[in-house]
Amino acid sequence: MSALLTVENLDVRHGLLQAVREVAFDVAEGETLALVGANGAGKSTLLRAIAGAHRPAGGRILFAGEDITRVPAHRRARAGIALVPEGRRLFPDLTVEENLRVAAASRRPGPWTVDEVFEAFPLLQPLRRKRAASLSGGEQQATAIGRALMTNPRLLLLDEVSLGLAPVVVEGVYHSLAALIEGGTTILLVEQDLGRAMSVADRVVCMLEGRVVLEGLRGQLTREQVTHAYFGLRQQEATA
C-alpha cells in the first residue's frame, strides 16, 4: 500500500539555523504516527513545512502521490492536509462558531459540520457565540481541533495539543481524539509527553537536533530506547 504522506530528505531552515536535516519517513493511510523529541528538535517546524506554512530549503514532500513541496498552504488545506498549530492560534475576535466556519474556505465535502464538531466536543456547545480569546486553554484546544476537522482532512497534523494544559484537561482532549484515531483518520501528532505518544500511536519517530534518530512500531520499541534517543545519549554495544 503506498503511503499517504512521504517526506524525502527534507531540509528546513529558520534563517541561518538548520531546524530539520535530511528527514525522511512515510505515513500510511489510516495510521497514527507520533513525532517525539525535546524542545528545539525540529518537530513543529517539520509539521509546519508539511502543512505549507514554512518553505523547505531542500527535499520533497509527497501527498497522495503528488509532489506538494512548492504548493502554497491554502491549496494544501484544500487537498486535505489540516494543521492544528502549536499554541492553538485561534482568531481571537471571532466567536467559536465563526472560527469553525472559516474552515469552509477549504471547500472540501465530508462528514464534519459545525453540529458534528459540537457533538464530538460537547463542552463547546454552550460556548458557540463566545469570543475565542475569552476561552480557557482546554476550550481553545478543542476549538482548534474542531476547526481543523471542519476542513474534512485526509491528514490531520496535531502540534503539541497538550501544551500548557492541566493533566485532567489533556485527558479530555485525548479522549476526544481517541474517537478520531479509531475512526481511521490519518494522524501525525507531535507530543512531548512520551507516555501519551506511545499509547495512542501506531508508530513513533524520534527527532533530535533536526534529524530522525529512531523510528519503529509501537510494539517494537521500549520506552528506554525512546528515552535515550530523545536525549541523544549514545549506547555502547547493546547490553542486557
Q: Which residue in 53, 64, 114, 163 binds another protein (CB under 8 A)?
A: 53
* Residue count (the chain): 240
**Site for another protein (CB under 8 A): how many residues?**
35
In the complex, the smallest distance separating the C-beta of residue 199 from another protein, rounded to whole angstroms, is 26
| Grid cell of 203 as nine digits | 508508530
73 lies in the binding site for another protein (CB under 8 A): yes
Q: Does 107 bind another protein (CB under 8 A)?
A: yes
Least distance between another protein and beta carbon 68 (Å):
14
Q: Is 147 in the site for another protein (CB under 8 A)?
A: yes
Contact predicate 27/80, CB 8 Å: no
Among 9, 55, 66, 92, binds another protein (CB under 8 A): 92
C-alpha cell at position 156:
490531520
Alpha-carbon gap, residue 146 to 114, rounded angstroms: 8
Within 171-200, the residues that bind another protein by CB under 8 A are none
Q: Which residues contact 13 (CB under 8 A, 6 or more apart)?
A: 19, 57
5-14 and 17-27 strand pairing: antiparallel
36 or 82: CB nearest another protein = 82
Contacts of 143 (CB under 8 A, 6+ apart): 88, 90, 96, 99, 100, 121, 124, 127, 132, 135
Q: Please, is 14 exposed, middle or buried when counting C-beta atoms within 10 Å of its C-beta (0-12, 13-18, 19+)?
A: exposed
Least separation in angstroms between CB 74 and another protein: 5
Q: Give the closest residue to 95 by CA, choosing from 37, 151, 135.
A: 135
Site for another protein contains 68 (CB under 8 A): no
Shortest gap between Cβ of 171 and another protein (angstroms)? 26
- Interface with another protein in residues 10-39 (CB under 8 A): none
Q: Is 211 an interacting residue with respect to another protein (CB under 8 A)?
A: no
Work out which of 140, 151, 162, 186 binds another protein, going by CB under 8 A: 151
Query: Which residue ranges make up the site for another protein (CB under 8 A)?
Result: 51-53, 72-74, 77-78, 82-83, 85, 89, 91-94, 98-99, 101-108, 147-148, 150-151, 233-236, 239
